[in-house]
Structure 1
Amino acid sequence: MSRRPVNPSRRIADNGSAPFANSLHQKSRSSPLLSVGLVVVGALLLIGYSYSHSGGFGGNIEAVSKMEGDYSCTSEVQRAIPMLSKAYGDSMHKVLHVGPDTCSVISKLLKEEDTEAWGVEPYDLEDPDSTCKSLVRKGIVRVADIKFSLPYRAKSFSLVIVSDALDYLSPRYLNKTLPDLARMAVDGLVIFAGYPGQQRAKGAELSKFGRPAKLRSSSWWIRYFVQTGLEENETAIKKFEQAAAKRSYKPSCQVFHLSAYR
């Protein structure tokens, strides 16, 4: 892909063959589409080159996300399910996911063996498909404002996973929401958050999220966890990293593993 297209006129000059050059010149005059064809071929080569450096057609999801300037930690949760299963084992039997597009996460979790899953969509559902409508109708997925206490009892779930939700909360509401999520977990809380500098909500999405994402550093989150009385789950972190290394998995979001309140 890095080779330059050959210039026919330069090759002719190098050969020093005047009769052949005249013949080609006559053909080019009689075939005006030749120059157009060369332009088209060059354009196709440029397009192919750009795709090869962005992960290819339908290739690397992370690369495509970076091109579009939009990062989804909810889609990252779906990619991370095998690693989460290795890290939490039996704790994956009863899971609550909180975040946008939770229907897709729940649908994938329910395909896992011996896994029960529920979801909370913190924003209005937009054009839900038949599967999502069915999950809502059955009460497996519900739409709720996470700035207020969710209608679940304490220790209702083995594991609580949250993505694309806390980044959009101001500290005022974060102080209420994070402890509320932690109280519902028996074995732990997993948070998928964006890296500082990543674009998250485009202009059209700001009305949905209500505010632009506040992407915080890992050191900010760790200090905040300590202030909230939450501790990192070192055992889960180690198992998750080992499983990720075996699968060559590199998350495009920050992943925090927290122990539940005792």
Structure 2
Amino acid sequence: MSRRPVNPTRRLGDGGSIPFVATIQDKSRNSPLLSIGLVVVGAILLIGYCYSSSGGASSGIKDVSKLEGGASCTAEVLQALPVLKKAYGDSLHKVLHVGPDSCSLVSSLLKEEDTEAWGIEPYELDDVSAKCKKLVRKGVVRVADIKFPLPYRPKSFSLVIVSDALDYLSPRYLNKTLPELARVSSDGIVIFSGYPGQQRARGGEVAKFGRPAKLRSSSWWIRFFVQSSLEENESAIKKFEQASTKRAYKPACQVFHLKSYP
């Protein structure tokens, strides 16, 4: 009795007969689910990336809005440096900056040829860069309460520049701090102060500074300078205004030029 030959084509078509073929078929059935899963994972990763990027962008926008609102007079000093050079010349070669973000300003000044610079940070330093930490370790930038005597000898600096610091002091402490600024300078003091009505120090900043900023008018400051026996530096004022006009520079903060004590 003859046996019928086996049809190999039919044998291969039987998925239950060959495990390898069954596996391929199962994967083909599950491929839509796998694709959907990959799409979901990709979407989650994309959302996470966008969220982290938006966080960085929002902090950058926050910084810009602070500058646009006049909240940072220290940033204004950076913009005014070319004008200050024209107004003060050699007096800008040995500078002390008093105010927040002194590390940034001091770093910019140190890039200038034949310029020595130091800084006093009147508030606690939070999340500072490695470069700033290095300046603090070297003693180039110090953290010090400006309501107390400054840790420098008389006339240690040719010029003292102050920004975002005096606005947070009451008249009681200004009576102590202003004479100290005059004591450690030899050629003058430049004060950058906010205009009345500008938004300053909210939330955590108030806690950090101890009190909200008290933005005073120019007439208030001038009266206070007279009471403190501090004279305005008319020569520096004129040179600063001339240099500002040539560079089309308009300060976003009030700028006062004072003489040092004799």
The verdict on a shared fold, with TM-score over 0.5 as the criterion, is yes
1:157 counterpart residue number: 157
2:199 counterpart residue number: 199
Give distance in 2, aligned partners of 1:64 and 1:211. 21
The aligned amino acid for 2:96 is L
Cα offsets for 1:131-150 (capped at 9, x unmatched): 10111111100100000001
Quote how far apart the aligned CAs of 1:202 are.
Answer: 1.1
Counterpart secondary structure, 1:196: coil
Counterpart secondary structure, 1:104: helix
1:232 counterpart residue number: 232
8 A Cα contact 1:92 1:159, kept in partner: yes
8 A Cα contact 1:123 1:209, kept in partner: yes
1:32 counterpart residue number: none
Give distance in 1, aligned partners of 2:255 and 2:171. 19
Counterpart secondary structure, 1:147: coil
- Spell out the pairing of 1:10-89 with structure 2 (5 A cutoff): 64-65=65-66, 69=69, 71-89=71-89
8 A Cα contact 1:189 1:259, kept in partner: yes
Give distance in 1, aligned partners of 2:90 and 2:165. 26
- Spell out the pairing of 1:87-236 with structure 2 (5 A cutoff): 87-236=87-236
User: Structure 1 residue 241 and structure 2 residue 244: aligned?
Assistant: no
Structure 2: give runs of 5+ residues left out of the alignment: 1-59
Quote how far apart the aligned CAs of 1:70 are.
Answer: 5.6
Give distance in 2, aligned partners of 1:203 and 1:62. 15
Q: TM-score scaled by structure 2? A: 0.74
The aligned amino acid for 1:211 is R
Structure showing greater Rg: 2
Counterpart secondary structure, 1:255: strand
The aligned amino acid for 1:240 is F
The aligned amino acid for 1:183 is R
8 A Cα contact 2:85 2:92, kept in partner: yes
Cα offsets for 1:23-75 (capped at 9, x unmatched): xxxxxxxxxxxxxxxxxxxxxxxxxxxxxxxxxxx9xx9984466x4610011
Give distance in 1, aligned partners of 2:65 and 2:250. 15
CA RMSD in angstroms comes to 1.9
Structure 1: give runs of 5+ residues left out of the alignment: 1-57
The aligned amino acid for 1:219 is S
Give distance in 2, aligned partners of 1:130 and 1:66. 24
Give distance in 2, aligned partners of 1:204 and 1:148. 24
Question: Where in structure 1 do 4 or more consecutive aligned residues deviate above 6 Å?
Answer: none
Give distance in 2, aligned partners of 1:103 and 1:149. 21
**How much identity, in percent, do the aligned residues show?**
74
1:24 counterpart residue number: none
Cα offsets for 1:87-126 (capped at 9, x unmatched): 0000011000000010000000111111000000000001
Cα offsets for 1:148-188 (capped at 9, x unmatched): 00110000000000000000001111110111111111000
Counterpart secondary structure, 2:97: strand
8 A Cα contact 2:70 2:252, kept in partner: no
User: Structure 1 residue 259 and structure 2 residue 239: aligned?
Assistant: no
Indicate how the Cα distance of structure 1 residues 71 and 152 shifts in structure 2: closer, same or farther if over 3 A, else same. same
Q: TM-score scaled by structure 1? A: 0.74
